[in-house]
Structure 1
Amino acid sequence: MDTERVVRTFTEFYEDRGHRRITGSTLLPPPGDPVLFTTAGMHPLTPYLEGRPHPLGRRLVNVQRCLRTTDLEEVGDATHLTVFEMLGTWSLGDYDGPVSLDWGFRLLTEGFGIDRGRLHATVFGGDGQVGPDTDSLRLWQEHGVPVELTVEDNWWANGPVGPCGPDSEIFLWTGDGPPRSTPTRDDRWVEVWNHVMMRHRRLADGTLVPLPRRNVDTGLGLERLATLLQGESSVFECDVFEPWRRLVPRLWPLDDPSLRLVHDHLRSAVVVVGDGVRPANTGQGYVLRRLLRRVLTVLWREDPSRSLGDLPDELVTHTLDRFRQDAGPGTVRRLLLDEERRFGRLLERGRRVLARPRFRRPLTDEDFHYLHDTHGLPRDLVLSLRGSEVTDL
């Protein structure tokens, strides 16, 4: 089942149950939002989760592109991507958690054909303020799905204050042989779907008050689900990365971890540029700059002659089309090359500056501030140059 069919199956299942499909937003949150990028499908819907009526009703479904910088260091393993698509559903004061979980179970087992014996759920076990989520526990027991009770792992919050509530996560067994242990004890259980029951608001003093209406927010990573349905062991083996696997190794022979980083970061950079971000020293632009510098670091480690200008047009076009973006491939390529030249000049300047006698001793915080403020050399770049080679930035 390719990713397009996964999307159709998912959205049609919920449309048949009264959900209206909404158009996903860009990676850029609305003005005034404190986060740099949209990190989950619920982010653009925050006003409606807070109580504002949605023009399309109380049952919604969508596909939202997301970017998570918190997972940047995890990229290269089997499940994490910087930019990905999130399948989501919402009940805005309509049905509650058990209905959502029941539909989720039926979609996974009947719609996607997953053996229920490969499923495991986790449920909020209660703490000093809120009791255990017995409704979700009962639902999973009725379906014969094993359940693990946790506290912190099954409590969702949108920050230190604001909407929050218990959640129930659904895991799929990816190991050989029959399932063993539980999700918190065996990483062969891979989380595929989280159902959040937003029932409370946390105040600044830490107390909880009931929300005026109960909402349900679910999120399911598209690439991760497609990977599992396609029987692959890594998100980089699913169909959306097929052209990357076919073209990049011929161009730049690299080991598997390096290839995964290059695939992810270049694909993510194209999407970020497609949403209108340009490289900068702060904010969204710095995230883009860091992605590209990490790619160039890997490429130049073995061969300094490698260039982003060699990136095939097919990969840029495929990515822009995949994320339904209007940016021209030529614009993206010019920006990548400009940033490559900028980084190359920065490396040369950094080597010259650090060769001065005053910097041959251990560096102090004052040295780092001077190098950054006077020469534009960030700490991570200085440390990598002092290590006699360019390492991951």
Structure 2
Amino acid sequence: MTSQELRKKYLEFFREKGHMIVPSSSLVPSDPSVLLTSAGMQQFKSYYLNEKSPYGENVTSVQKCFRTSDLDSIGDESHLSFFEMLGNFSFGGYFKEEAIKYAHEFITKEMGLKIDYVSVFKDDSADGISEDRDSEKIWKSIDPSLKIVKAGKTDNFWGPTGSEGPCGPTTEIYVNNVEIWNLVFNEYYKDANGKYSLLKTPGVDTGMGLERLAMVSQGKNNVFDTDLFQPFNFFTFLGRDGRIIADHLRGSMFLIADGIKPSNKGAGYILRRLIRRIVVICKINSIPLESLISRVERAINYYNFYKELPINKDKIIKEIKEEVNEFNKIIEKGLNEFFKKYPEMRVEAITPGKAYKFHAVKIIHDAFYFHQTFGLTIDIIKDLAKKGGHIVDEDVFNREFQKHQQLSRTASVGMFKSGLADHSEQAIKYHTAAHLMLAALRKVLGKHVSQKGSNITGERLRFDFSHPEKMTSEQIKLVEDAVNEKIQEDLPVKMEEMSLEEAKKQGAMGVFESKYGERVKVYTIKDNSSQASSESPFSREICGGPHVERTGLLGKFKIIKEESSSAGVRRIKAVLS
């Protein structure tokens, strides 16, 4: 039975049982306490709290869901980031007996599958939630020979979605030793303080992953061999790495179709992590990046159940292509530098008769640097480590990363004083380029030049400076050449903390209309002629950062516009390529 037929069979089964079919809601939820829609019940959450449902008491749906909690497990037989949730819900219309009987009928009679066993909630004395004896009795009345396993809160209690809301004990159905259906009985409300109270009207919230149902009904060993991943079978033959590509590419399509764009915040950062992980896996497996877009186009046409995909086809392709191309510009150098720094991450040969040394690699001082400069997320670093037969000490990584984030936040207020709109690696490159450009402007135009303002994004640099007249084309060329020369020299960018008085003594440039603290950060770029001498450096500025570690990471600098900003102030717009 195809996945399309499974969707139809499920919805029709519950429509005949008196349920209204409700379309999937967006992956971007209306509930501000959650980042993405992770369950079928989220769009119905308020109806469990006595708000009247416009659909009636009983509904059914196929809901698009996205979960990040299982990212480490993706690539095995059954875990996914994006998945489709078949669900039936009741807001006071029926409860445990009908829900369990419907589930048993659908699995055994409609699908012709054999249930291995079911699980029910044991108890939780800490929260005063009693054992679910009702579900156990109902299952025994349906099939006295059925194996029933009892489990505690970790396995058989679900919810709430977000910080508070409806929740309750669950009973889970296993087929071929795979959990395929989870029936949640919303009897309780958990408030923001963690306190449980009984709901006035108990409800039913069930969820069955379409991919897992397809796996057991189609007789496959994993979800990636089902027809749902047919557009991506070019990748899935590669094993775990190929499965990750297939999962992340499929998830990215649906996120973009629902209005999410790659960014460094919230759901946009999740999307960016997915796409960048794909790029790295393609690189280390010699998979052409061009193959990604052709598979996306196939998948958009294949998943015709979701009309938002073809409607947003151009946008999906554009966002994926741009993120892939942008990351591809820096990742090669990033991987080379990473393996140079951590050679133990490389794949190690196994010598017969010699014990294999399995160890945890500590990514400590460079965690923030590799993330900010090359976009190596923790997911990517863990993948690289796993390739070499190692594991990453993730706690150490996260502590170091958070420490550097805090330092960066302390050095800036709101939009950073340095004019950065965000902390993306491209914006950081433009920030360093601004320092080089100011030094070049002073060299070409004279020492009267000082910074009057800047606005830096991941796309371009805008810089205002004091100068009484329009620059000539020759002067613009000289500034460009001076900046590109320092980029070619791959000079180190050094940061020192010192008193404001000492910074001024050393000739550090600064926007002295700003209020600096007693101690400041000073970034210095020494050219080759001044490295081993007492000559003044090419650039020295008081700045909150952040910056790249070497100028060679910037690419080619180009001024695209020079114009008047105000009386006595000129404005330059420049890009890196």
| Contact kept in structure 2, 1:124 and 1:166, CA below 8 Å | yes
Distance (whole Å) between structure 2 residues aligned to residue 228 and residue 369 of structure 1: 43
Distance (whole Å) between structure 1 residues aligned to residue 383 and residue 296 of structure 2: 32
| Contact kept in structure 1, 2:253 and 2:296, CA below 8 Å | no
The 3 A distance-change label for structure 1 pair 147 and 380 is: closer
Which blocks of at least 5 consecutive residues in structure 1 are unaligned?
Answer: 175-188
The 3 A distance-change label for structure 1 pair 135 and 334 is: same
Deviation track 1:130-157 (CA, whole Å, cap 9, x = no partner) reads 2211110011111222111111211122
Aligned counterpart, 1:79:
78
Aligned counterpart, 1:92:
91
5 Å-filtered alignment, 1:292-371, equals 292-303=275-286, 306-308=289-291, 311-312=294-295, 314-318=297-301, 321-325=304-308, 326-347=310-331, 350=334, 365=365, 368-369=367-368
The 3 A distance-change label for structure 1 pair 328 and 196 is: closer
Aligned counterpart, 2:121:
124
Distance (whole Å) between structure 1 residues aligned to residue 263 and residue 132 of structure 2: 45
Deviation track 1:299-328 (CA, whole Å, cap 9, x = no partner) reads 111327543565346424235524331444
Aligned residues: 363
Larger Rg: 2
Aligned counterpart, 1:244:
232
| Contact kept in structure 2, 1:271 and 1:320, CA below 8 Å | no
- Partner amino acid for 2:79? H
What is the TM-score of this pair, normalised by structure 1? Answer: 0.83
The 3 A distance-change label for structure 1 pair 196 and 376 is: same
- Partner amino acid for 1:340? V
The 3 A distance-change label for structure 1 pair 392 and 104 is: same
Aligned counterpart, 1:182:
none
Aligned counterpart, 1:178:
none
Alignment partner of 1:217: what SS? Answer: strand
Aligned counterpart, 2:221:
233
| Contact kept in structure 1, 2:168 and 2:184, CA below 8 Å | yes
Aligned counterpart, 2:149:
148
The 3 A distance-change label for structure 1 pair 261 and 114 is: same
| Contact kept in structure 1, 2:280 and 2:331, CA below 8 Å | no
The 3 A distance-change label for structure 1 pair 229 and 343 is: same
Give the superposition deviation at 1:119: 2.9
Distance (whole Å) between structure 1 residues aligned to residue 289 and residue 142 of structure 2: 54
| Contact kept in structure 2, 1:313 and 1:329, CA below 8 Å | no
Give the superposition deviation at 1:254: 6.3
Give the superposed CA RMSD: 3.1
Distance (whole Å) between structure 1 residues aligned to residue 156 and residue 166 of structure 2: 15
Distance (whole Å) between structure 1 residues aligned to residue 252 and residue 331 of structure 2: 21
Distance (whole Å) between structure 2 residues aligned to residue 297 and residue 308 of structure 1: 14
Bigger relative CO (Cα 8 Å, ≥ 6 apart): 1
Aligned counterpart, 1:258:
241
Distance (whole Å) between structure 1 residues aligned to residue 8 and residue 285 of structure 2: 43
- Partner amino acid for 1:341? N
The answer as to 2:235 corresponding to 1:215 is no
Give the superposition deviation at 1:271: 1.4
Give the superposition deviation at 1:255: 2.6
The 3 A distance-change label for structure 1 pair 370 and 16 is: closer
The answer as to 2:257 corresponding to 1:282 is no
Give the superposition deviation at 1:83: 0.9
Identity within the alignment, %: 29
What is the TM-score of this pair, normalised by structure 2? Answer: 0.57
| Contact kept in structure 2, 1:298 and 1:392, CA below 8 Å | no
- Partner amino acid for 2:313? P
Alignment partner of 2:174: what SS? Answer: strand
The 3 A distance-change label for structure 1 pair 300 and 150 is: same
Pick from 189, 195, 199 the counterpart of residue 187 of structure 2.
199
Pick from 291, 296, 305 the counterpart of residue 274 of structure 2.
291
Aligned counterpart, 1:47:
46
Give the superposition deviation at 1:332: 2.2
Alignment partner of 2:270: what SS? Answer: helix
| Contact kept in structure 1, 2:231 and 2:302, CA below 8 Å | no
| Contact kept in structure 1, 2:272 and 2:323, CA below 8 Å | yes
Distance (whole Å) between structure 1 residues aligned to residue 2 and residue 59 of structure 2: 23
Aligned counterpart, 1:163:
166
Alignment partner of 1:216: what SS? Answer: strand
- Partner amino acid for 2:3? T
The 3 A distance-change label for structure 1 pair 372 and 17 is: closer
- Partner amino acid for 1:123? V
Give the superposition deviation at 1:337: 1.9
Alignment partner of 1:69: what SS? Answer: coil
- Partner amino acid for 2:210? L
Give the superposition deviation at 1:204: 4.7
Give the superposition deviation at 1:379: 6.0
| Contact kept in structure 2, 1:123 and 1:136, CA below 8 Å | yes
- Partner amino acid for 1:102? K
Distance (whole Å) between structure 1 residues aligned to residue 152 and residue 243 of structure 2: 33
Aligned counterpart, 2:178:
190
Alignment partner of 2:70: what SS? Answer: helix
Distance (whole Å) between structure 2 residues aligned to residue 385 and residue 205 of structure 1: 37
Alignment partner of 1:79: what SS? Answer: coil
Deviation track 1:81-133 (CA, whole Å, cap 9, x = no partner) reads 21111011111012111210011101111111113xx3311011123212211
Aligned counterpart, 2:357:
none
The 3 A distance-change label for structure 1 pair 16 and 119 is: same
Q: Tell me which moved more, 96-105 or 334-343.
A: 334-343
Aligned counterpart, 1:185:
none
Deviation track 1:215-245 (CA, whole Å, cap 9, x = no partner) reads 1100010111011111111111111222322
Distance (whole Å) between structure 1 residues aligned to residue 44 and residue 52 of structure 2: 11
Which blocks of at least 5 consecutive residues in structure 2 are unaligned?
Answer: 342-361, 393-577
